[in-house]
Amino acid sequence: MTRKNVLVFRELPDDQLARIQADHETTVANPRVPAQRDAFFAALPAAQGLIGSSFRIDDAVLTRAPRLEVISSISVGVDNYELAALKQRGILLCNTPGVLTETTADTIFALVMATSRRLVELALHVREGRWTRNIDESLFGWDVHGKTLGILGFGRIGQAVARRAALGFGMPVLYHNPFPVDLPELAGRARHAALETVLGAADIVVSTLPLTEETRGLMDASRFAAMKAGAIFVNGSRGAIVNEDDLLAALDAGHLRAAGLDVFGTEPLPLDSALRGHRQVTALPHIGSATHETRHAMAVLATSNLLQALRGERPAASVD
């Protein structure tokens, strides 16, 4: 088998790097690390396979990689890739659906719990030595069980969130999706509805939407205004679906109770972002899939996709 040139643009576990090195000439260079940026761009002209994530690969990058056959993204989201440019150049794009579904749903549900029960705020209350007498109602939270959960996007992750909510917490679920999804285990518990209906009826609204031209900026001032007074907003998909200034305004006006955010328009979240220190915001550093088990499973799938594609086989997961 011909050895090809692979450029690994985000750290891979040693066992997966070894699989690639066994078959191909391999360069590891992460363009987000200043000291490795030049090496990344120097390796592009020869690269036939790329594997990594969290870096924008647009037409300008592709122009520097004329031999490229495949990009294997260690992510399910593919909004970092200029899809039209890939298609035009005949470059295959692979991703990692499925293996991160349950972990990401866990993270989203953790944010539902954390925001409703004020877990971070109250943990800091203890840690900072402010628990000097029984807490009073100024620090009480709000029940999660029995509340209505609105889910925006009803793909694998949205459905996994719905199962947790409906079957574990007795929450009626309303979801917004281009089409209804028939899930026998959620019959009578999860209902397809128009966006405005979901926003107007849910006590907690969760986004699991992919970032596309249709969803970019979807959650703006008018959509936050359409949410119930005192509702909670949780975003576990992509930051750019939210207008963050409008979200802050809805929180500051007292219309929304709290927000739980794992994703932001700019990541890492800039130090001067008003979301960072906001009392009603629980912010996480994009940890949706970040467990040892799941990040390893993503690396295994992404590596398999890459190796299959470079052998001319159909990869397990590719984006049409």
Q: Which of 5, 26, 30, 75 binds ligand DGY (CB under 6 A)?
A: 75
238 is a catalytic site residue: yes
The nearest distance, CB 289 to ligand DGY, in angstroms, is: 4
Distance CA 158, CA 109 (A): 11
Query: What string marks each residue from 95 to 114 as x (binds ligand DGY by CB under 6 A) or -?
Result: -----x--------------
Q: Is 77 in the site for ligand DGY (CB under 6 A)?
A: yes
Q: Which of 158, 265, 288, 315 binds ligand DGY (CB under 6 A)?
A: 288
Tokens found for residue 47: 């690269």
By C-beta, is 153 or 288 nearer to ligand DGY?
288
Q: How many residues bind ligand DGY (CB under 6 A)?
A: 6
The nearest distance, CB 38 to ligand DGY, in angstroms, is: 26
* Lookup result for tokens 């040892």: 292
Q: Is 6 in the site for ligand DGY (CB under 6 A)?
A: no
The nearest distance, CB 97 to ligand DGY, in angstroms, is: 9
Instruction: Give the strand pairing for 49-52 and 281-283.
Output: unpaired
C-alpha 64: how far from its chain's center?
Answer: 28
Distance CA 300, CA 37 (A): 25
Of the ranges 72-80, 128-136, 193-201, 275-283, which one interacts with ligand DGY (CB under 6 A)?
72-80
Q: Which region holds residue 131: left if phi is over 0, alpha if psi is between -120 and 50, else beta? A: beta
Contact 293, 32 (CB under 8 A): no
Of the ranges 40-48, 56-64, 71-79, 252-260, which one interacts with ligand DGY (CB under 6 A)?
71-79
The nearest distance, CB 300 to ligand DGY, in angstroms, is: 14
Q: Is 76 in the site for ligand DGY (CB under 6 A)?
A: yes
The nearest distance, CB 286 to ligand DGY, in angstroms, is: 6
Tokens found for residue 243: 């207008």
Q: Is 280 in the site for ligand DGY (CB under 6 A)?
A: no
Q: What is the DSSP code (8-state) at residue 164?
A: I
Q: Among residues 19, 251, 231, which one has the least CA distance to residue 112?
A: 231
Q: Is 289 in the site for ligand DGY (CB under 6 A)?
A: yes
Determine the residue type at 128. E
Sheet hosting strand 25-28, strand order edge to edge = 25-28, 5-8, 49-52, 70-73, 92-94
CA 264, 269, 271, 277 torsion-angle sign? positive
By C-beta, is 274 or 290 nearer to ligand DGY?
290
By C-beta, is 45 or 285 nearer to ligand DGY?
285
Catalytic residue among 267, 276, 311, 313: 267
Distance CA 189, CA 45 (A): 53
286 is a catalytic site residue: yes
At 56, phi and psi to the nearest 5? -70, 120
Q: Is 243 in the site for ligand DGY (CB under 6 A)?
A: no
From residue 34, alpha-carbon distances to 37, 44, 268 in Å are 5, 16, 15
145 is a catalytic site residue: no
Q: Is 94 in the site for ligand DGY (CB under 6 A)?
A: no
Q: Is 294 in the site for ligand DGY (CB under 6 A)?
A: no
Q: Which residues are catalytic?
A: 238, 267, 286
- Footprint of ligand DGY on this chain (CB under 6 A)? 75-77, 100, 288-289
